[in-house]
Amino acid sequence: MESPKQNPHDDNSSSSSSSSSSSLKLFGFWASSYTHRVQLALKLKNLPFDYIEEDLADKSPALLLNNPIYKKVPVLLAGGSPIPESLIILHFLDDRFPESTPPLLPAAPRDRALARFWAHFADDRLGPAVAAVFASDGDAQRAAVGRFRDELRLVETELREGAFAGRRFFSGGDRIGFLDIILGCGSYWLAVFEEVAGVKLFEAGEFPRFNAWLRDFEEQEEVKAIIPPFDRLLGYARGLRQVLLGGGGGGGGGNSGEGENVGGVLADE
Ligand SMILES: N[C@@H](CCC(=O)N[C@@H](CS)C(=O)NCC(=O)O)C(=O)O
């Protein structure tokens, strides 16, 4: 479905608007979990798109024009109209392409509300909690790990005895959906951050349901096609942590913008 230049693992990929019959164009950044959300949603919905890689340290005029308020990726251009913000883009895709199966959000209003609530929780609480671990060391880091586990425990409890109990995926089916995408694109960073920051963020024994869900999510073909290789994320995260801890140094990932981007990887600033 996607042409080689749309391969999200190719950070040099770019394409001009005239080169494709697709009316969807995505401005993204290769290490951005928010970008991965949109790439994954487009892939699950089987929608072709052009991918435009941004240098976050030197944003293109086109990105600034299309997202003048937040100036961030991802931005989806649909028939020339810009739609920023990953969550809003996912909702848009369901609204605009109802015929492309599967819908990302569940059908029942209560299930839709729940998915939206936990997606908000992911961006509002979980992401910032991980970012705090990654951006600290010593005692501050130990305290941040504790706060992260407290947040993750809320998800585990919900999986054990809440509305998602007994489900393979948050979607309720055997395919990943909206909340799986939101929580999943971010969670694959946990192992990377553990290695780079030298901490254990969570033990499978204490969070068995979350752990099983994450392993299952990571095994999905669509996910494997989108998420960059572990080693590449590792290189990027090493550079990012060095900058965050004031050690300077360059990025390991090929593009720049790391200093501003721990929030971009897992948490909204
Ligand atoms: N809330 C936004 C967050 C997007 C975001 O933080 N993007 C980062 C990259 S992962 C970015 O563009 N950072 C550049 C900047 O902050 O200037 C979303 O969900 O799309």
Q: What is the pLDDT of residues 32-45, one digit of tens each?
A: 999 999 999 999 99
- Take atom 16 of ligand 1 and give the residue whose Cα is closest: 72
Angle of CA points 95, 50, 17, to nearest 5°: 105
- Chain segment 95-120, per-residue pLDDT in tens: 999 988 789 999 999 999 999 999 99
Residue 150 included in any domain: yes
pTM of the predicted model as reported, rounded to 2 decimal places: 0.88
Beta-strand runs (E) in the chain: 24-28, 50-53, 75-78, 81-84
The reported pLDDT for the residue numbered 246 is: 85
Q: Which atom in ligand 1 lies closest to the alpha carbon of residue 72?
A: 12
Span 4-17, mean pLDDT? 38
Q: What is the CATH number of the domain that holds 173?
A: 1.20.1050.10
- Chain segment 120-168, per-residue pLDDT in tens: 999 999 999 999 999 999 999 999 999 999 999 999 999 999 999 999 9
Asked if residue 255 has pLDDT above 70, the reply is no
Which residue, of 96, 129, 163, is where some domain finishes? 96
| Residues 90 and 222 reside in one and the same domain | no
Q: Tokens for 109? A: 């209003």
- Give the three-state DSSP class for 205: coil
Residue 246 included in any domain: yes
Q: For residue 268, report the distance from its CA to the centre of ligand 1, in Å.
A: 7
The reported pLDDT for the residue numbered 74 is: 98
The reported pLDDT for the residue numbered 2 is: 37
Q: Of 250, 248, 239, which is closest to residue 265 (Cα–Cα)?
A: 239
Q: For residue 18, what are the domain limits?
A: 4-96
> Is the CB–ligand 1 distance for residue 261 below 6 Å?
yes
Asked if residue 227 has pLDDT above 60, the reply is yes
| Residues 145 and 217 reside in one and the same domain | yes
The reported pLDDT for the residue numbered 101 is: 77
Residue 66 included in any domain: yes
The reported pLDDT for the residue numbered 81 is: 96
| Residues 204 and 147 reside in one and the same domain | yes
Domain count along the chain:
2
- Chain segment 40-59, per-residue pLDDT in tens: 999 999 999 999 999 999 99
